[in-house]
Amino acid sequence: MLTRKQHELLIFIDKHLRATGFSPSFEEMKDALKLKSKSGIHRLITALEERGFLKRRAHRARALEVIRLPENIAPRRAAEPAPAAAAGPAAATFSPNVIHGRFAPNLAGVQRAANEAAAVQLPLYGRIAAGLPIEALRDSGSSVEVPAALLTSGEHYALEVSGDSMVEAGILDGDTVIIRRGDIADNGSIVVALVDENEVTLKRLRRKGNSIALEPANPRYETRIFGPDRVKVQGRLIGLLRRY
């Protein structure tokens, strides 16, 4: 069963695809649902994808496909005519519910719209620092624009780095790291770890027998070793943004 907002978004995307031939932008979806931030749209799309209603085409901007509609909505006609806006060289092979990566050069505005939709708004947490659990760093009013190609399935958030303990892993003070939320990580992964329920740190995770080591990437700092019940993984590093 879908929530009201999930249902509204799915119907809006389906109508937009049938009317224009391509997915609405995150800004259009945010306005249509009267949400305050694009991060809410990202979460709704992820939920619809997990429930089998939507499918995202990897490495393509504005590439949402409606797989199915709720049972109380009439099925879409299989042979629906292509919209007038799609007339031209690409119309013969045009599929109304998927935007294709190869654009005809004479379709004005299409490439600009694709570039605008190539990013996703993620919630931006505060600077990672000792003494605060990750949820305490959340600032619901802040977000950061992240290239969609950086993201995988699942929920993500961004985090500003404070300090130089991971410089030899290429992570500098002031960088913004992209984290995939989760409580499981492979040995050797760089993770956001919650220690003793009150300290959050970004370190490389090493399992040694029944112990967990949080390893810095700077010889000035010592590796810290804990019992398995003292450390909780809160996410895994998947990307990094830096401004020069």
List pLDDT tens digits, range 39-83: 888 888 888 887 888 887 755 556 788 888 876 565 444 334 434
Q: Quick one: pLDDT band at residue 28, thresholds 50, 70, 90?
A: confident
Rg for the chain (alpha carbons), in Å?
Answer: 21
CATH value at residue 28? 1.10.10.10
In order of 62, 80, 81, 108, 170, the CA distances from 91 in angstroms are 18, 13, 10, 15, 46
- Does residue 142 carry a pLDDT above 80? no
**Mean per-residue pLDDT for 125-132?**
60
Give residue 43's Cα distance to chain centre.
8
Nearest to 159 by CA among 176, 145, 144, 183: 176
Q: Pick the range with the lowest mean pLDDT from 133-137, 156-160, 176-180.
A: 133-137
Q: Quick one: pLDDT band at residue 141, thresholds 50, 70, 90?
A: low
* Same domain membership, residue 123 and residue 112: no
Q: Which of 140-144, 147-151, 206-210 has maximum average pLDDT?
A: 206-210
Q: Which of 99, 116, 133 is the last residue of a domain?
A: 116
* Same domain membership, residue 31 and residue 73: yes
| Contact present, 54 and 133 (Cβ < 8 Å) | no
Q: Identify the pLDDT of residue 90.
A: 39
Q: How far apart, in Å, do the first and last CA atoms of the chain sit?
A: 46
Q: Pick the range with the lowest mean pLDDT from 96-100, 186-190, 204-208.
A: 96-100
* Same domain membership, residue 111 and residue 38: yes
- Does residue 100 carry a pLDDT above 60? no
* Same domain membership, residue 149 and residue 40: no
Q: Which of 68, 87, 116 is the last residue of a domain?
A: 116
* Same domain membership, residue 67 and residue 176: no
| Contact present, 25 and 114 (Cβ < 8 Å) | no
* Same domain membership, residue 179 and residue 199: yes
Tally of structural domains, the chain: 2
**Residue span of the structural domain in which 58 resides:** 4-116
Residue 110 sits at φ, ψ, to 5 deg, of -70, -45
**Mean per-residue pLDDT for 214-225?**
91
* Same domain membership, residue 54 and residue 133: no
**Which of these is catalytic: 34, 165, 211, 232?**
165
**Which of these is catalytic: 23, 25, 39, 203?**
203
* Same domain membership, residue 81 and residue 61: yes
* Same domain membership, residue 232 and residue 135: yes
**Mean per-residue pLDDT for 176-200?**
89
Of residues 213 and 94, more confidently modeled? 213
Active site residue 55: no
* Same domain membership, residue 229 and residue 175: yes
Q: Quick one: pLDDT band at residue 139, thresholds 50, 70, 90?
A: low
Active site residue 189: no
Q: Pick the range with the lowest mean pLDDT from 64-68, 95-99, 117-121, 166-170.
A: 95-99
CATH value at residue 129? 2.10.109.10
Helices within the chain (DSSP H only): 4-20, 26-33, 38-50, 110-116
* Same domain membership, residue 103 and residue 145: no
What the block records as the tokens of 71 is 């049972």
Q: Identify the pLDDT of residue 129.
A: 54
